[in-house]
C-alpha cells in the first residue's frame, strides 16, 4: 500500500477544505515547495497535488506553486484539478508530473481520457469524487446522475493507471475512510483504486493493511497529517512491516 500525502492548492498556499467547500479552507503552509520537501523527508514515496482553484476554473490556477513542488522533491507527483484538454495533459507531463488525474473531463468527455491513456500509457489516472453516491464535477460544485461504479466501468479497458475515489461527505472532517464504498468500486473494475476522503488516524492505516484491502493501491491523507493526528513515522513503519521490509 502507498500512503499519498496531499497538497491542496488555493491561492498558492497549501490548504485543506471541509466537505469540499472552498469557503471552509484552512491554510497549513504558504510554501508548497517546502511542504513537498517535508513530506519527502518524512519518508513518503509519492505526492498527491490538487489545484483547487483550477478545478473550479477549468484550467490551471496554481502553476507556479506546482512548479515549486516539482523543483523541491524527487518523489513522483500526481496532479489533478482543472486539467481538461490534451494540451494541458501534455504540458504537465512534459514538466515532470508523473501522473495526471482527470476528474470532470472523465464525465464530460470520456473519449479524451481514453485518448490520453493511449498517448501516455501508465500516466493517466481518473478522479472519481462522489457525494451521496453520485459523481460530483466542477470542483465538486455540481452533482451528476452517474454512480462511481458506472463511471469507473467506462474506463475498464482504456489503460487508466488508477482511480482515485473520494467520498466528499467525509473529506476534511476526519470521519475515517469509506472502506465499504471504496472496496465496492475496487471489486467492480480491474483498475487499481486509491482511497481518499476522511483518513483520520493510524487506525485507518491499520484498516487499509487488512487482507480485504490488499487490492487497493493505497490511500490519500491530508488533514490528519497536517494537524498531527497521523504520525508519519508510525504510519510508514506499519506499511513497511506489512510489505515485509
SS3 134: strand
Residue 5 parent element (H or E): strand 2-10
Q: How far apart are CA 217 and CA 153, in angstroms?
A: 18
187 is catalytic: no
Q: How far is CA 106 from CA 98, 171, 214, in A?
A: 19, 21, 26
**Measured between alpha carbons, how far is 28 from 161 in angstroms, rounded to an integer?**
30
Identify any residues that bridge with 221 across adjacent strands, giving them in sequence order: 5
Q: Which of 51, 129, 167, 204 is catalytic?
A: 129
Question: Is 21 designated active site?
Answer: no
H-run or E-run covering 230: none
**Residue 188 parent element (H or E):** helix 179-188
Q: Which residues are catalytic?
A: 8, 129
Amino acid at each position: 500500500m502507498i500512503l499519498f500525502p496531499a497538497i491542496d492548492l488555493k491561492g498558492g498556499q497549501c490548504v485543506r477544505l471541509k466537505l469540499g467547500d472552498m469557503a471552509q479552507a484552512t491554510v497549513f503552509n504558504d510554501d508548497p515547495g517546502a511542504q513537498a520537501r517535508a513530506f519527502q523527508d518524512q519518508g513518503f514515496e509519492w505526492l498527491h497535488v490538487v489545484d483547487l482553484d483550477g478545478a473550479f476554473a477549468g484550467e490551471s490556477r496554481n502553476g507556479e506553486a506546482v512548479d515549486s513542488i516539482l523543483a523541491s522533491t524527487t518523489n513522483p507527483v500526481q496532479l489533478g484539478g482543472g486539467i481538461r484538454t490534451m494540451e494541458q495533459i501534455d504540458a504537465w507531463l512534459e514538466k515532470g508530473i508523473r501522473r495526471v488525474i482527470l476528474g470532470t473531463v472523465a464525465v464530460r468527455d470520456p473519449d479524451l481520457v481514453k485518448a490520453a491513456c493511449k498517448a501516455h500509457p501508465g500516466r493517466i489516472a481518473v478522479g472519481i469524487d462522489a457525494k451521496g453516491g453520485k459523481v460530483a464535477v466542477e470542483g465538486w460544485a455540481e452533482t451528476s446522475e452517474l454512480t462511481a461504479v458506472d463511471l469507473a466501468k467506462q474506463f475498464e479497458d482504456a489503460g487508466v493507471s488508477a482511480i482515485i475515489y473520494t467520498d466528499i461527505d467525509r473529506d476534511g472532517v476526519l470521519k475515517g475512510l469509506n472502506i465499504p464504498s471504496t472496496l465496492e468500486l475496487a471489486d467492480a473494475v480491474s483498475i487499481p483504486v486509491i482511497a481518499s476522503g476522511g483518513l483520520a488516524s493510524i487506525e485507518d492505516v491499520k484498516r487499509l493493511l487488512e487482507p480485504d484491502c490488499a487490492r487497493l493501491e493505497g490511500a490519500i491523507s491530508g488533514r490528519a497529517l497536517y494537524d498531527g493526528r497521523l504520525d508519519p513515522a508510525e504510519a510508514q513503519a506499519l506499511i513497511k512491516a506489512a510489505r515485509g521490509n
